């Protein structure tokens, strides 16, 4: 089934631990994105990648890193988790060659940092 | 700064019509999106407007006025399954999406 998958679905993590959230898409979209969603706030862009091998910083990149080794995978790493990183994380992808460049979202990862 | 404003919450009756407004102030404009998000789920794409006017798609329509920095999403013949949050997002001059906080729509029988 075409789409985006994320893992894990949810995670409870101790502060200071390292964590990688996984994201894989099979739509051959060139662009991928990581957002966080917090209650009362809009989705905020953490990092993005316009094509394999390139990445860029979004609105809230501090404390997060990404890599884009191939078209399909876009993992997000928290090097040393802090409680303020408790959030729901969504990965998205899009085909930027299209007229609308619509973003399609994965199911999300609910992360709690204690 | 960049800003997207939407009402926090709206209530409507099953079978009725509801209009959800979105106003925006962004650095540049390269299109406006509406997404639907059910509780605990991912946002799903509803509509895209880049030119002024109304785009109709079944029970849902979206309107854009670029000169007024304004859009609305119109939902007709409301069904209980339409209970969700509706997110407005604008693509700015850097081709990044700026998101509103969303409007929670509650449908009552």
Whole-number pLDDT of residue B21: 98
- pLDDT tens string A6-61: 999 999 999 999 999 999 999 999 999 999 999 988 899 999 999 999 999 999 99
CA atoms of A18 and A20, how far apart (whole Å):
7
Distances A46 to A30, A65, B14 between C-alpha atoms, Å: 17, 9, 38
Q: Are B73 and B32 in contact (CB under 8 A)?
A: no
Confidence class for position A109, pLDDT limits 50, 70, 90:
very high
Q: Which residue has the tokens 């969700």?
A: B84
What's the angle, vertex CA A24, arms to CA A20 and CA A28, rounded to 5? 145
Whole-number pLDDT of residue B97: 92
Q: Are A59 and A38 in contact (CB under 8 A)?
A: no
- pLDDT tens string B52-95: 999 999 999 999 999 999 999 999 999 999 999 999 999 999 88
* pLDDT mean over B2-14: 96
* Partner A contacted by B39 (CB < 8 A): no
Q: Is A100 exposed, middle or buried (0-12, 13-18, 19+ CB in 10 A)?
A: middle
Helix (H) or strand (E) holding B88: strand B84-91
**B42, B98, B100 ranked by CB distance to A106: nearest:** B42
Q: Which residues of B touch A58 (CB under 8 A)?
A: 96
CA-nearest of B87, B95, B93, B83 to B71 is B87
Q: Are B6 and B101 in contact (CB under 8 A)?
A: yes
Whole-number pLDDT of residue B2: 85
- pLDDT tens string A87-99: 999 999 999 887 7
Confidence class for position A1, pLDDT limits 50, 70, 90:
low
Confidence class for position A2, pLDDT limits 50, 70, 90:
low
How close A48 comes to chain B (CA, Å)? 9
Confidence class for position A66, pLDDT limits 50, 70, 90:
very high
**Percent of chain B that is helix, strand, coil (3-state, to 5):** 5, 55, 40
How close A67 comes to chain B (CA, Å)? 19
């Amino acid at each position: 089934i075409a789409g985006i998958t994320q893992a894990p679905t949810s995670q409870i993590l101790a502060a200071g631990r390292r964590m990688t959230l996984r994201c894989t898409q099979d739509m051959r979209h060139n662009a991928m994105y990581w957002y966080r969603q917090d209650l009362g706030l809009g989705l905020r862009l953490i990092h993005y990648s316009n094509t394999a091998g390139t990445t860029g910083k979004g609105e809230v990149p501090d404390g997060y890193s990404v890599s884009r080794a191939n078209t399909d995978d876009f993992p997000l790493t928290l090097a040393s988790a802090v409680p303020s990183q408790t959030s729901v994380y969504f990965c998205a992808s899009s085909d930027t060659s299209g007229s609308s460049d619509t973003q399609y979202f994965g199911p999300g990862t609910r992360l709690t940092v204690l | 700064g960049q800003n997207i404003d939407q009402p926090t919450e709206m209530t409507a009756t099953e079978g009725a019509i509801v209009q959800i407004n979105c106003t925006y102030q962004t650095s540049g404009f390269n299109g406006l999106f509406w997404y639907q998000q059910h509780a605990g789920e991912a946002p799903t794409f509803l509509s895209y407007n880049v030119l002024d006017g109304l785009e109709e798609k079944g029970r849902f329509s979206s309107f854009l006025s670029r000169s007024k920095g304004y859009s609305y999403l119109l939902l007709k013949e409301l069904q209980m399954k339409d209970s969700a949050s509706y997110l407005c997002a604008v693509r700015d001059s850097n081709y990044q999406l700026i998101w509103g906080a969303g409007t929670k729509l509650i449908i009552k029988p």
